Chain A
Amino acid sequence: MSNLTTAHRGRAWKFGDSVDTNQLAGGGLVAETMNETLRINCLRGLRPDFTEHVAEGDILVAGKNFGCGSSRQTAVEALQLCGVSVTLVESVARIHRRNSIALALPLFVVPGITELVNDGDEIVVDYPNRVVRDLTTGAGLPLATLPPSVEQIYEAGGLLQVIGARLAQEGITPPRPQRAG
């Protein structure tokens, strides 16, 4: 899910401008675990049927200023818990962009994407070939190349993995689990 080396194919879920992190990771319904609470509230205020029908691998399409508001990393986690594989936006709020990189959820700024894609269309996001294609209409748009430092974080599977690797380089490794007896 987290790498850029394969194409992602899924149903498009389309949202408007300024979808804030309250909508992505706000409270409301309460479930047994924190993850489940996050999942069932994701985008519910804007679209009550979203969490029920979204499927693993689906693709989120949104307008301008996606992910504005609080610096909630849970906003990215909520999308991942819903199964969203890629986010395509007209523009994105900077903290949300950085959080998406840190958690290795591919996010692409694609000007014109909300014109190209209708809700429910089948789309393919093919970063290796730098293109997004709407299979329902046949239309496509180019994807921009990400900076190398960002690609490296995606390739590592997220920033947490980079932390582990850098600590190991400094000779700091996790303690071995103690054996009983």
Chain B
Amino acid sequence: MGQTMAEKVLSRQNITGEPVHAGDVIDAKLDGLMVITYGKVRALYRKLGFPDGPPKVFDTDRVFLLNDHVQPGIKLEVAQQAYDSKLDANRLDITNFRDSEMGICHQMMLDYGYVRPGELVVGNDSHTISYGAINAASTGMGNTEIAYALAFGELFFSVPETIKVVLRGSARPYPFGKDVILYLAGQYGDSFAQDKSLEFVGSAADAMDITSRLTIADHAVEVGAKFGFFRADDKTREFVDARGIRPYQTVEADPDAEYGQTVEVDVDDIGFQVAKPFRFDNVVPVGETSGVRIDQARIGSCANGRFEDIEIAARMLRGRKVAKGVKFYIAPASQTVYLECVRAGLIETLLEAGVQVQQPGCGICQTPQIVLNEEVCITATTRNYRGRFGGATSSEAQVYLASPATVTAAAIAGEITDPSELLNV
């Protein structure tokens, strides 16, 4: 019987060496482990009686210890966490350690070539799944599982069933990755891939750049998926080779692989999409939200903080201004992305238009001004759940999700609007 991408990677990594199929529960060896919020992992070892943190790691080269999420450490616990992680990286000989760097862990995993196609990689953040864009089987876990994996380099997996998502059409130049995944969520619901693996194939998937693939793979978790694969092609190889990544073995599904379901979408038909509050699947075509007045706009995060995302905003804002009364925040996903944007002159354009450029990293999900219950925000970030931008005390704040183009158009108009005109479609 043929195998899906997930079945192939998990067969390769299965501790017993047996080939696996959907439904099997196995222990698998990890190729890589990304660890963030290290203080919490370390605290678990302290609970076990190890005052200095973990006594061992499974592989000093395949543990990626990154201090991200809340940088710089202006809170004591964050600064302490960075300090402790430096001590432990030293003591445990962890070669790939990034100390308090302003960037999103997932972007750093890509920028620094820590993740390779065909690998099984786990991290303690749900958007670890995004590396599927470069053909890796990657997924998020909680801190205790990460603490386990840190010492032993293995975890139990139930081998997932796979949904094949065929993206037809050209996907050029629009809609964007964000519109595609929002459309899928709107059609099939925010748990349609619960516990499943997704394989994105078809002409539009092939035509997409890595940035759009990353947006889609990142959001695979927003529809419940365990993995979200794209095939490895020349673009993938160019991307990873540019980062000097060592030998890797890409993964391809067999022609006779068994799929639980096949879903087909012609992306040329879907247009721009918006997720209304408070769910990722509360999706409508942009036209149905036009005229909704906004107070805040954001672009960034592991979903939409890459050069191509920011370039769209800059292109649309050239010679224009952010509407009066709107706060428009944009944050590059990492230092590397920031530098690319600076070199291309994008940051100057954004500042001239009145955008508040934020430091790179997860801050775009946390530090721009809280969205109050009375306010509306449109954002090209990851989530529009209640209280996402302010916690339980601002659970009525209206957060809309959309692509960077739709967000930028709204920031210029002061209300949600179809971006086609500004994009010169």
B126 interfacial contact with A, CB 8 Å: yes
Q: Is the CB of A71 within 8 A of B140?
A: yes
Q: Is the CB of A64 within 8 A of B191?
A: yes
Query: Which residues of chain A come closer than 8 Å to B388, judged between CB atoms?
Result: 22
A interface residues, how many (CB within 8 angstroms): 43
The listed residue (B141, B195, B222, B392) touching A44 by CB distance below 8 A is B392
Task: Tell me whether B357 is interfacial, beta carbon within 8 Å.
Answer: no
Q: Does B188 contact A (CB under 8 A)?
A: no
The answer, yes or no, to whether A31 is at the interface (CB within 8 Å) is no
Checking B40, B126, B147 against A163 with a beta-carbon cut-off of 8 angstroms, the contacting residue is B147
User: Contact at B385–A22, with CB atoms within 8 Å?
Assistant: yes
Contacting pair B51 A94 (CB below 8 A): no
B194 and A94 contact, CB distance less than 8 A: yes
Asked if residues B144 and A27 are in contact (CB atoms below 8 Å), the reply is: no
> With contacts A22-B385, A73-B144, A164-B48 known, is A149 near B191, CB below 8 A?
no
Residues of B within 8 A of A102 (CB): 142, 144-145
- Flag if A65 contacts B391 (CB, 8 Å): no
Q: Which residues of A contact B224 (CB under 8 A)?
A: 65, 68, 93-94
Kindly provide the distance from the CB of B52 to the nearest chain A CB, expressed in whole angstroms.
8
A18 to B278, CA, bound (A): 10
Is B386 a contact partner of A22 (Cβ separation < 8 A)? Answer: yes
Residues of B within 8 A of A167 (CB): 48, 55-56, 151
User: Is B156 an interface residue, CB under 8 A from the partner?
Assistant: yes
Q: Which residues of A contact B195 (CB under 8 A)?
A: 94
Q: Which of A27, A160, A172, A173 contacts B147 (CB 8 A)?
A: A160
What is the interface of chain A, defined by CB distance below 8 A to chain B? 18, 20, 22-23, 26-29, 41, 44-46, 64-65, 68-73, 76, 91, 93-95, 98-99, 102-103, 147, 149, 158-160, 162-164, 166-167, 172-175
Query: Which residues from A are CB-within-8-Å of B385?
Result: 20, 22-23, 69
Q: How far is the CB of A66 from chain B (nearest CB, A)?
A: 10
Query: At the interface, yes or no: B21 with Cβ under 8 Å from chain A?
Result: no
Interchain CB contact under 8 A, B190 and A29 = no
Cβ contacts under 8 Å, B126 to chain A: 69-71, 95
Q: Are A99 and B191 in contact (CB under 8 A)?
A: no
Whole-angstrom distance between the Cβ of A153 and the nearest chain B Cβ: 9
Query: Given A44-B392, A46-B386, A93-B194, list of 11 further CB < 8 A pairs?
Result: A27-B387, A27-B392, A45-B395, A64-B191, A65-B191, A73-B143, A94-B194, A94-B224, A103-B144, A160-B44, A174-B49
Q: Are B386 and A23 touching (Cβ within 8 A)?
A: yes
**A-facing residues in B251-266 (Cβ within 8 Å):** none
**Chain B 266-288 residues near chain A, CB threshold 8 A:** 279
A172-B55 contact in complex given A149-B156, A163-B147, C-beta closer than 8 Å? yes
B190: chain A residues at CB < 8 Å are 18, 65, 68
CA distance A6 to B223 in the complex (A): 35
How far apart are the CA atoms of A94 and B159 in the complex, in Å? 13
What's the minimum C-beta distance from B32 to chain A, rounded to whole angstroms?
Answer: 17
Map CB proximity to A onto B221-235 as digits: 1 under 8 Å, 0 otherwise: 010101000000000
Indicate if the CB atoms of B140 and A166 lie closer than 8 Å.
no
CA A124 to CA B245, docked complex, whole Å = 54
- Closest beta carbon of chain B to A16's beta carbon, Å: 11
Asked if B174 is at the interface of the complex by the 8 Å CB criterion, the answer is: no
Q: Which secondary structure dominates where chain B touches chain A?
A: loop
Question: Closest Cβ of chain A: how far from B231's Cβ, in Å?
Answer: 23
Contact A98 B145 (CB under 8 A): yes
Q: Which of B2-16 contact A (CB under 8 A)?
A: none
Query: Is B393 interfacial (CB 8 A cutoff)?
Result: yes
Contact residues in A for B152 (Cβ distance below 8 Å): 166
Q: Which residues on the B side are within 8 Å of A71 (C-beta)? A: 124-126, 140-142
What is the CA–CA distance of A148 and B275 in the complex, to the nearest angstrom? 40
A18 touches B191 (CB 8 A): yes
Contact of B226 among A94, A162, A164 (CB under 8 A): A94
A115, chain B: closest CB distance, angstroms: 18
Contact B383 A26 (CB under 8 A): no
> Among the listed B47, B191, B392, which residue makes an inter-chain contact with A41, where contact means beta carbons less than 8 Å apart?
B392
CB-CB < 8 A to A164: which residues of B?
48-49
B25 interface residue (CB < 8 Å to A): yes
Shortest Cβ distance from A71 into chain B, in angstroms? 4
Residues of B within 8 A of A26 (CB): 387, 391-392
CA distance A174 to B143 in the complex (A): 20
Interface centre among B50, B55, B387 (most CB of A within 10 A): B387
Q: State the CA gap A22–B392 with chains docked (Å).
A: 8
Q: Which residue of the partner chain B has the closest CB to A168?
A: B48
Whether the pair B142, A95 counts as a contact (CB closer than 8 A) is yes
CA gap between A144 and B25 in the complex, in Å: 16
- Hey, which chain A residues are within 8 Å of B391, CB to CB? 26-28, 41, 45
Q: Which of A65, A69, A162, A173 contacts B148 (CB 8 A)?
A: A162
Closest to B194 in A: A91
Q: Are A29 and B386 in contact (CB under 8 A)?
A: no
* A-B contact list, 15 entries, CB within 8 Å: A26-B387, A28-B394, A46-B386, A68-B191, A69-B126, A71-B142, A91-B191, A95-B140, A95-B142, A99-B142, A149-B156, A163-B48, A167-B55, A174-B48, A174-B50
B contact residues around A147 at 8 Å (CB): 25, 158
Q: Quote the shortest CB–CB distance from A68 to chain B (angstroms).
A: 7
Docked pose: A18 CA to B222 CA in angstroms: 11
What's the minimum C-beta distance from A148 to chain B, rounded to whole angstroms? 9
Q: Which of B140, B144, B279, B392 makes the CB contact (< 8 A) with A45?
A: B392
| Least CB distance, A14 to chain B, in whole angstroms | 18
Taken together as a complex, chains A and B put the C-alpha atoms of A130 and B226 apart, in Å, by 28
